Structure 1
């Protein structure tokens, strides 16, 4: 287990070094003590003054923060997940009392209740005040702390939308309570659950029981994912589960995949440009992030239009390209292709020529655009 975590850290820490990691002491009125927290700000946080970021709260921050922060930085680097503010709460020597619950009703009690309020009423409020946070939050826990994160799910209007459960040590009634909360959820929720073939037997039994219950959840607002990793122990499963959870929670955020291209964009019943617009509208609605349409996604839609010969789709596409990549040849090229394929070759030729002086992008440069104009001129004798 230690060797796996060391390998994971060796891969991720060089990436995390480019992000801003801060260590702060938080004086809590609720707890009556000072707690150490770690904060990883996204790359170029200071430069992107108009940008807001989702927040990930990591319990067991003394050992879980670095794997989570590193993987989030890695996925964000490749634009497979948004950049996020990651906050780890150190609980070394305190996790048992932090997660304490009543033996009568199995809800947080004593120090556990105070720790619950510390996160919900103090920590998140300060983060919102001090940093540019978006209204999308995830919480992560492991065994005791994994059970604990689900208490937030039980509240009306939960303050977290995403829950990453790494081998939870479930309290009595918790499986039933989670199932009820997800069934009755009135806003979007992401729930991830993981165990391993070599997990602690008593924990695994409860986790498999929870999975059986959650399979019956039929709420369209809930995205549920379960993993049972082969040959993974209670500790090594963490290294496999974190990336799996990130991929599950941010599926719509990722660039258009080969699968999406083949199964959606190439279908004649689907408008590729509308699919693109709806994809980015969903990103803003789900995660509170206004994301610029990526060049990769423009190229995917372009290839789909060429493949299906649905030339009218270029109307929306060239307007979007002019909005998201102003001053480049992208929108000009799409507009020229529209005119070229809908019976206006002379206008297409002039549009290709007008690209001279605009910025190169993807495969588009002055030579390419002028060659397209010359080809039309030659074909039609202009």
Structure 2
């Protein structure tokens, strides 16, 4: 009986902590009809009552919602992206009308104009009123709807920060319009563009032309990523592009990577503490998340300081450690290393000794800290 109960718990527990998917029908004044949407709320959304979440709005929600929602849940579980609210708009019977643009000026018209206003003025307002949304918003689409999402980018103050273009069926002037909008952007923007070697030829030509323009773009506020997936068709590229888009757009949220460590932190011209501070300030400013600095990121900075011998950086690092991990040995260790390497061995010895009674963390425990103090005492005869 106990064994059966244990098996049941092991099977059910993951389901209890999984992300929630809700289904809603929204009445739209702009469209004069109702629309079905799917909403995935993050794990533990109900428990984290003070937390707000970025929003990813997914067009073609009939088939794009599930792969997007699954990837967001997976990446956020491993802290490679923030937890987010994913919203899919079902369009199986209306996508051509929804994304309609006029042939004269290639701008949304008729039902397309109404759908444009429905998303921006009604759906997002509904989400903001009902759920704990943050200001950071991303929109995604595929072929015809991927062209449509970029019309928001052309507005003076775009309501979306990120644009995931999955093999877009671009309107004739859209490449120039996107490039001009991003060139002039005075706020941070993210644009992801994907095609495949086996994509629809007429779409692929327009996508490659757009990439040529965006690759030459010079605006530090714009993060742009392009992928051309080998042997990927118009439909199979979606499964590869969604995780690639999330990795590109939320790179600042991820733990410090080997690339950042090798190319930035090991450069003596870069302050590793400033890098760490800027990283977490960006997470707060962009996503509205007051995130505690990861222990792994502290260790990456510690290793970089030891490699570059920028001992002064230990002072700022100890201050951050005291703030983020109070009561532990982390801040004490960094402070002691600072004193030890800047010509104050007696103060370093006493600082190591101060760790007695503090909580152990990472590789730091009482034996290690007291051994460091004893080594200094022996070397200098204190």
- Which TM-score applies when normalising by structure 2? 0.91
* 3-state SS in 1 of match to 2:312: helix
**Equivalents in 1 of 2:174, 2:180: separation in Å?**
10
**Which residue in the other structure is 1:162 paired with?**
162
Give the superposition deviation at 1:320: 0.3
**Equivalents in 2 of 1:96, 1:219: separation in Å?**
33
**Which residue in the other structure is 1:68 paired with?**
68
* 3-state SS in 2 of match to 1:311: coil
**Which residue in the other structure is 1:194 paired with?**
194
**Which residue in the other structure is 1:376 paired with?**
376
Spell out, residue by residue over 1:197-221, the C-alpha distance to the aligned partner (whole angstroms, 9 max, x if none). Answer: 1111121122122222323322222
Give the superposition deviation at 1:370: 2.6
**Which residue in the other structure is 1:4 paired with?**
none
* 3-state SS in 1 of match to 2:83: coil
Kindly indicate whether the alpha-carbon contact (under 8 Å) linking 1:147 and 1:169 is maintained by their aligned counterparts in 2. yes
Kindly indicate whether the alpha-carbon contact (under 8 Å) linking 1:255 and 1:297 is maintained by their aligned counterparts in 2. yes
**Which residue in the other structure is 2:325 paired with?**
325
Give the superposition deviation at 1:170: 1.3
Task: Trace 1:176-255 onto structure 2 (pairs within 5 A).
Answer: 176-255=176-255
Give the superposition deviation at 1:192: 1.0
| RMSD of aligned alpha carbons | 1.9
Task: Trace 1:101-120 onto structure 2 (pairs within 5 A).
Answer: 101-120=101-120
**Which residue in the other structure is 1:355 paired with?**
355
Give the superposition deviation at 1:140: 0.3
Spell out, residue by residue over 1:78-108, the C-alpha distance to the aligned partner (whole angstroms, 9 max, x if none). Answer: 2222111111111122211111222222211
**Which residue in the other structure is 1:8 paired with?**
none
**Equivalents in 1 of 2:274, 2:182: separation in Å?**
31
Kindly indicate whether the alpha-carbon contact (under 8 Å) linking 2:197 and 2:232 is maintained by their aligned counterparts in 1. yes
**Equivalents in 2 of 1:220, 1:334: separation in Å?**
34
Spell out, residue by residue over 1:100-127, the C-alpha distance to the aligned partner (whole angstroms, 9 max, x if none). Answer: 2222222111221111111100111121
**Which residue in the other structure is 1:11 paired with?**
none
**Which residue in the other structure is 1:339 paired with?**
339
Spell out, residue by residue over 1:309-354, the C-alpha distance to the aligned partner (whole angstroms, 9 max, x if none). Answer: 2222111010100111112211111112222223333333332233
Cα distance change on mapping 1:332 and 1:220 into 2, 3 Å? same
Moved more, 149-158 or 290-299: 290-299
* 3-state SS in 2 of match to 1:252: helix
**Equivalents in 2 of 1:96, 1:329: separation in Å?**
61
Spell out, residue by residue over 1:236-268, the C-alpha distance to the aligned partner (whole angstroms, 9 max, x if none). Answer: 000111111111112222221222212221222
Give the superposition deviation at 1:46: 2.5
- Which TM-score applies when normalising by structure 1? 0.91
Does residue 100 of structure 1 match 2:93? no
**Equivalents in 2 of 1:365, 1:65: separation in Å?**
47
Cα distance change on mapping 1:24 and 1:367 into 2, 3 Å? farther
Give the superposition deviation at 1:16: 11
Give the superposition deviation at 1:44: 2.2
Spell out, residue by residue over 1:53-80, the C-alpha distance to the aligned partner (whole angstroms, 9 max, x if none). Answer: 2110001111101111111122222222
**Which residue in the other structure is 2:7 paired with?**
none
**Which residue in the other structure is 1:51 paired with?**
51
Structure 2 segments unaligned to the other structure (5+ residues): 1-13
Give the superposition deviation at 1:300: 0.8
**Which residue in the other structure is 1:284 paired with?**
284
Does residue 40 of structure 1 match 2:35? no
Question: How many residues are aligned here?
Answer: 369
Kindly indicate whether the alpha-carbon contact (under 8 Å) linking 1:26 and 1:36 is maintained by their aligned counterparts in 2. yes
**Which residue in the other structure is 2:294 paired with?**
294
**Which residue in the other structure is 1:306 paired with?**
306
Kindly indicate whether the alpha-carbon contact (under 8 Å) linking 1:15 and 1:73 is maintained by their aligned counterparts in 2. no
Give the superposition deviation at 1:17: 6.9
**Equivalents in 2 of 1:360, 1:51: separation in Å?**
29
**Equivalents in 2 of 1:129, 1:308: separation in Å?**
50
Spell out, residue by residue over 1:4-34, the C-alpha distance to the aligned partner (whole angstroms, 9 max, x if none). Answer: xxxxxxxxxx899711222222222222222
Kindly indicate whether the alpha-carbon contact (under 8 Å) linking 1:16 and 1:70 is maintained by their aligned counterparts in 2. no
**Which residue in the other structure is 1:3 paired with?**
none
**Which residue in the other structure is 1:10 paired with?**
none
**Equivalents in 2 of 1:17, 1:164: separation in Å?**
28
